[in-house]
C-alpha cells in the first residue's frame, strides 16, 4: 500500500514537471518577468571600396520576447562623429510585431577614416535575458577606402630595432581630401629590413604638406608585422614619449618607439626606442 502511494506521488510530480517544460519556462522564471529587447547581432563593419558610393543609412534589427501591444524603447546612441553618424533616441515595435528596425543615418565619409557608433537598450530590471549578453548592445563601424598610387621608393634605415640595417621600400600616395595635406605610406618596412621575423602586408602612414615637408604620422601606432611573447609589435611617434616626424630636404626621420599590444586595436605598452630614417624624393603635386 505504501509503495502504491509513493508511485502516485512521483507520478504527480512528473506531471507537474512536464507541464512546466511544455510552457517553455525556466524553473525559477516568474510569470510576470520583464519583456526582453535585444539586437539580432552584436556588431557590423562596413568598408566602402575606393570609388564606390557609401550608403545613406544602415538598418539595425531588434527583437523582443513578445508581439503584444505597441512598445517604444529608449536607445542609447553614442558616437564621436555626430556630423556623420546619427540616430533617433527611441525605436518602436508595432502591435503584433516581435521585431523593429532602427535606422543609422550616414553622412559624407572622408576616405581613410573610420567612423564608429555604439547602441544599447535598457531592459527592465526583472527581465530574464535569453540571448547572448553581447547582443544587448550593437557596435557600428564604417570606413571609405583610399585609392593608392605609386610615389616612388625610399631607402630606409632602422637605427635601433635592427641596428643600422637598410633596405629599399615602396612608397604610395593616397587620395587624401584634406586641403594642404598629402598622405603617403611606406610599405613592408620591417619585412624588408628583417624578412625572417616580420611578415609582409604592413604600412607606415605619414602626412606632408603640399611641398613634401613632414607634418606628422597619420596613425598613433602601426603594426610592424612582428610579435613578441605573443603580443603584436607596434611602431609610433607619440609626443608623450618624445616622438616626432621631421625632415630636412629629402631626408626624413621618424623618431619614435616600438611597443606591444594584445590586439591590433588594443592599448599599446611602449617598450623600445626606435628611429627610422629614410631618403625619399617626394613627387611634385
Q: DSSP strand E in 178-283: where?
A: 182-187, 203-208, 214-217, 222-228, 231-236, 244-248, 251-261, 269-279
The answer on pLDDT for 15 being more than 60 is no
Asked if the structure places residue 5 within a domain, the reply is: no
Residues 135 and 166 both lie in one domain = no
Containing domain of residue 67, as a range?
A: 37-144
**Residue 75, domain CATH:** 2.60.40.2030
Mean pLDDT of 224-233: 96
Reply yes or no on whether the pLDDT at 23 is more than 70. Answer: no
Pairing type for strands 137-144 and 43-48 reads parallel
pLDDT at 32: 36
The residues, ordered by sequence, that sit 6+ positions from 216 with a Cβ below 8 Å of its Cβ are 206, 207, 237, 245
The verdict on 192 and 96 lying in the same domain is no
The pLDDT of residue 265? 86
Q: Is 160 in the same domain as 275?
A: yes
Looking at residue 130, its pLDDT comes to: 54
Most distant CA pair in the chain: distance in Å? 106
Check whether 195 has a pLDDT greater than 50.
yes
Statement to judge: residues 136 and 153 lie in one domain: no
Q: What is the pTM of this model?
A: 0.69
**CA 234 – CA 267 distance, rounded (Å):** 10
Least confident stretch, 1-10, 110-119, 162-171: 1-10
Over residues 201-219, mean pLDDT:
97
Cβ(128)–Cβ(50) below 8 Å: no
Query: Using one digit for the tens of pLDDT, what is the confidence trace for 234-274?
Result: 999 999 999 999 999 999 999 999 999 999 989 999 999 99
Give the alpha-carbon dihedral of 254, 256, 257, 258, to 10 degrees: -20
Domain stops at, among 122, 144, 166: 144
Report pLDDT for 135: 81
Q: Which residues contact 203 (CB under 8 A, 6 or more apart)?
A: 185, 186, 187, 188, 222
Measured at the CA of 250, the angle between CA 221 and CA 215, to 5 degrees, comes to 40
- 66 and 82 assigned to the same domain: yes
pLDDT of residue 280: 98
The partner residues of 169 in beta bridges, in order of sequence, read: 154
Last residue of a domain, one of 144, 167, 183: 144
pLDDT band at 169 (very low <50, low <70, confident <90, very high): very high
- Which pLDDT score, from 0 to 100, does residue 30 have? 37
Which region among 60-69, 120-129, 251-260 has the lowest average model confidence (pLDDT)?
A: 120-129
Residue-averaged pLDDT of the chain: 87
Q: Could you tell me if residue 4 is inside a domain?
A: no
Q: Mark whether 110 and 219 lie in a shared domain.
A: no
Residue 77 neighbours by CB under 8 Å, 6+ apart: 86, 87, 88, 89, 117, 118, 119
Amino acid at each position: 500500500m505504501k509503495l502504491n502511494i509513493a508511485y502516485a506521488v512521483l507520478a504527480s510530480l512528473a506531471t507537474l514537471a512536464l507541464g512546466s517544460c511544455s510552457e517553455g519556462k525556466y524553473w525559477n522564471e516568474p510569470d510576470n518577468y520583464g519583456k526582453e529587447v535585444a539586437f539580432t547581432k552584436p556588431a557590423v563593419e562596413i568598408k566602402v571600396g575606393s570609388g564606390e558610393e557609401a550608403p545613406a543609412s544602415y538598418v539595425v534589427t531588434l527583437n523582443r520576447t513578445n508581439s503584444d501591444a505597441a512598445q517604444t524603447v529608449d536607445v542609447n546612441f553614442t558616437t564621436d562623429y555626430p556630423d556623420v553618424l546619427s540616430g533617433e533616441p527611441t525605436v518602436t515595435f508595432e502591435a503584433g510585431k516581435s521585431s523593429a528596425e532602427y535606422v543609422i543615418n550616414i553622412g559624407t565619409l572622408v576616405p581613410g577614416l573610420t567612423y564608429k557608433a555604439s547602441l544599447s537598450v535598457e531592459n527592465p530590471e526583472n527581465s530574464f535575458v535569453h540571448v547572448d549578453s553581447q547582443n544587448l548592445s550593437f557596435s557600428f563601424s564604417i570606413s571609405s577606402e583610399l585609392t593608392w598610387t605609386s610615389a616612388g621608393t625610399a631607402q630606409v634605415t632602422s637605427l635601433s630595432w635592427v641596428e643600422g640595417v637598410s633596405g629599399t621600400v615602396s612608397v604610395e600616395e593616397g587620395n587624401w581630401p584634406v586641403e594642404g595635406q598629402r598622405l603617403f605610406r611606406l610599405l613592408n618596412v620591417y619585412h624588408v629590413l628583417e624578412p625572417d621575423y616580420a611578415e609582409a602586408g604592413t604600412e607606415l602612414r605619414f602626412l606632408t604638406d603640399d611641398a613634401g615637408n613632414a607634418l606628422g604620422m597619420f596613425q598613433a601606432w602601426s603594426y610592424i608585422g612582428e610579435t613578441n611573447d605573443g603580443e603584436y609589435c607596434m611602431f609610433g611617434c607619440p609626443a608623450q614619449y618624445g616622438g616626432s616626424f621631421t625632415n630636412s630636404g629629402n631626408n626624413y626621420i621618424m623618431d619614435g618607439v616600438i611597443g606591444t599590444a594584445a590586439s591590433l586595436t588594443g592599448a599599446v605598452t611602449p617598450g623600445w626606442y626606435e628611429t627610422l630614417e629614410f631618403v625619399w624624393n617626394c613627387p611634385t603635386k
